[in-house]
Amino acid sequence: MDATLAERQGTTEMSHSNWFYLISAYFLAFLTMPACADTDQDRLPYIGRPGQLPVEVVTQFLKSRLSGADHFVDYKTLTIVQHSKRREMSDQVHLIVIQKGLLDDSIQDIRWRLQLRLNPQRRWQINTVKEDFSCYRGHKDWSRARCS
Q: How many other β-carbons are positioned within 10 Å of the β-carbon of residue 38?
A: 12
pLDDT at 73: 85
Sequence-distant (≥ 6) Cβ neighbours of residue 24 within 8 angstroms = none
- Structural domain boundaries of the chain? 45-135
Output the CA torsion sign for 98, 99, 101, 107.
negative
pLDDT at 17: 56
pTM of the predicted model as reported, rounded to 2 decimal places? 0.71
Rounded average pLDDT over 134-145: 92
Greater confidence (49 vs 6) lies with: 49
pLDDT at 18: 59
Q: What is the mean pLDDT of the chain?
A: 81
Rounded average pLDDT over 69-82: 88
Q: For 119-134, write each residue's pLDDT tens digit.
A: 999 999 999 999 999 9
Greater confidence (101 vs 38) lies with: 101
Report helix, strand or coil for 42: helix
- Lay out the sheet containing 46-47: strands in order across: 46-47, 124-135, 107-118, 92-100, 77-84
| Domain 45-135: which CATH number of 1.10.10, 3.10.450, 1.10.3470, 1.10.3480 | 3.10.450
Rounded average pLDDT over 49-66: 95
pLDDT at 41: 86
Under the banding of pLDDT at 50, 70 and 90, the label for residue 34 is very low
Does 48 have pLDDT greater than 70?
Answer: yes
pLDDT at 40: 85
